[in-house]
Amino acid sequence: MQPIISLTQKSTLSGHSAILVSGIRDLPRKLVTGPEITYLRKRFKEKGKEVITINRLGLLLFICRVEKGKLSHKRAEQWRKRGEGLLSTLSDHKAEQITLLDTGNHNLEILAMAEGMALGNYQFLRYRSDAEEKESKLKEIFISSPGVKKEMIRQLNALVDAVYRCRSLVNEPVNTLNAEALAAAIQEMGNAAGIQTEVFGIDKIRELKMGGLLSVNKGSPDPPTFTIMEYKPAKPVNSKPIVLVGKGVVYDTGGLSLKPASFMDTMKSDMAGAAAVACALYAVAKAGLPVHLSALIPATDNRPDGNAYVPGDIITMMDNTTVEVLNTDAEGRLLLADALTYAKNYKPMLVIDLATLTGAAQVAIGKFGMVGIHSGAGRYMETLKESGQKVYERIAEFPFWDEYAELLKSEVADLKNIGGPQAGAITAGKFLAHFIDYPWIHLDIAGVAFLDKKEGYKTAGGTGVGVRLLFEFLKVVSMKIAKV
């Protein structure tokens, strides 16, 4: 259950509470007793003791010490983790609500704490027979802080809602979420947020000659889909839309270039890019950001069945580029290429694609961030990296030298779909860059989209990575454009 974050004016302790203080002198004397202050003074002297718990006959009081100095990106992340860190104790007490009290100008810390607590409370219990017993009881997080405004709370609730939806989509198995089911879920979500959504079926995809998407789909018993979302507020700040593109491979066996079994069990997450862009657009619409935004989501599974495409095939893409297929497990770039070609219809201000595209990206930087490359979008990339630091979904920008394109030259076609054993994340990007004529950023989220075990507020399974990053970026960009 997603806990709802709300503002409150109350400054008394009537239930489970957390108080943010810079030091003992900031503790409201009407809220803590003399013996408690003596106890806290002693505990505050302990190095590294930033959160102290007092149990008042079943009512929990957390005293959270705020460090001196300006809030850095790293410290904001620490406050998210502190918020998540209170959840196990609250769960033990079956707490349904908690109030966060700010005794000073700590509005950024208190918001980060609430965010971490709300995100960490996510559970995927749909298929658990003991779901009712396991479900978290936390329903409400109240914030009392003079620096926190209603609009901040509205945006945070929309963002948490979107991350929950993204995680659940990624966690859903392919036997219940094939390409058509993904499109239906996105359409339902779009309707809930007032987003215009259209789904192309296989006949329209054939009419458009999306050879990449159709080729990957050839081994599947289920048809592909191509979903288009558009959010255009009454007075958008941008005259040309920003377009988001997400890889929607709902399950990836590798096709005839079959993955080892040990690498296949998490491949329901190969549509995490699609989930991220759809849910980011949902968050933007729910929060009412004044930005014209579209999302393109090509979707299919990749299986080695029937008339599946094979290594050695030469396929024709939507823009008539011919591609020699050397590895059917390099499928994501094929359907993304068709989507990037379709994006030309929008004459976009910027296109950003998100994809669990290469193992090379994961090998390069692990689970600590995503790989980013761009073409003609330098200033946007800098803003995106800054947004990534702020929400701690960090981007490592890779070089994008012209020489990498040489690795994709084919003897029998315009391109081949892999560039060899070196620089795999970059050559995958070079393949995609062949299909663009606009400012473009590519984010490879392979290492961060799915976790084997919980890491703070990033729960096991789908992490929802990309949603918070894109939302923050779009919020900043819309404000910058509005000032021009």
Which positions are catalytic?
259, 333
Between helices 107-120 and 150-171, what is the axis angle to 10°? 30
Contacts of 175 (CB under 8 A, 6+ apart): none
Closest CA to 224 of 315, 278, 303, 323: 303
Dmax (CA) for the chain in angstroms is 83
Does residue 387 come out as left (phi exceeding 0), alpha (psi in the -120 to 50 range) or beta? alpha
Partnered with residue 250 across adjacent β-strands are none
> Within a 13 Å sphere around the CA of 236, how many CA atoms are in the beta-carbon half?
18
Each as own residue / partner, the long-range contacts of residues 320-323 (CB below 8 Å, 24 or more positions apart, any chain) are 321/414, 321/415, 321/434, 321/435, 322/413, 322/414, 322/415, 323/212, 323/410, 323/413, 323/414, 323/415, 323/416, 323/417
The owner of tokens 């400012």 is 439
And the tokens for 189? 């979500």
Residue 355 CA to residue 449 CA, distance in Å, equals 9
Residue 26 CA to residue 29 CA, distance in Å, equals 9
Residue 459: burial class (beta carbons within 10 Å; 0-12, 13-18, 19+): buried
Residue 317 CA to residue 340 CA, distance in Å, equals 11
